[in-house]
Structure 1
Amino acid sequence: MGGWTYMLRCSDDSLYVGSTSYADVNIRVAEHNDGRYWGYTSRRRPVKMVWSKWFDDLREAHAAERQIKGWSRAKKLALMRADEETLVRLSKRRAGKPKSIPKPSKQQLVEQLHSIGLRHPEARAPRASHEG
């Protein structure tokens, strides 16, 4: 069973990230807007969906939600704009973070971006060689 990961812009300009098993993510957004469930968005209505991605496996949608919730606002905005260059730049370890947190390799960054439907800007198909 699949599911959606989605990002909402709230009336106070904050961003909310969620996931749902609904086949139509717009139904879940409508539930946020009608205040059906008490929570973060119920006090920040109306909300508007600014990004969404379908995953064939609901567990992947939940994992993407958890991952994106941990991102900075700047990184979430870059995802919303599909700004791959900024996403990669913001994914790099910044000075001042504990050294116990391993710096992700380029391959890990590519896999992370791919898991949410984006390509690393340096991940291009190899060019054919021209001999002769």
Structure 2
Amino acid sequence: MSALRKLQQRWDDMLPEEDGDFLESTAGKEWLEKSTARLMSGRDVMKPNPFGRDGVLVISQHLVESVANHLSANGGDNYAIERILIEVMRRAHKDDVLYQLASEALGVDEGECRVVQDLALEILSPLAEEYADAARDDDKAQSECGF
């Protein structure tokens, strides 16, 4: 095969199939995979423009809104999102983007986010005396029994 024919074949292989569905082609599947990863990383998906800068096809905020709509439509009482936020705050990697996003979700834009810790303190503080009484009763019972 001549060099020109090989180049022509490579060019023809890169062109999308005209008769088929783009998403069924190899190029379509690759584009969909890369674009999905791009949206999930918080970046917009662009479309080519032969006369200048690429245009925006989908902004990343659309994915955020879709997830929010999905969560509100599939509500439930397992509180998974809340548990995720608590776990992120518990790990407290303050330089991590997850910590920063969780802080923002909890309403703290700058500085250390102690919302979860403060809520835990509010829950536990009124129960401190009840715990102390139970601990004293337990200690007394153990000392009377000898074990």
Shorter-chain TM band: under 0.3
TM-score (norm 1): 0.22
Q: Of the two structures, which has the highest relative contact order with CA contacts closer than 8 Å and spacing of 6 or more? A: 1
TM-score (norm 2): 0.21
More helix by share: 2
More strand by share: 1
* Greater C-alpha Rg: 2
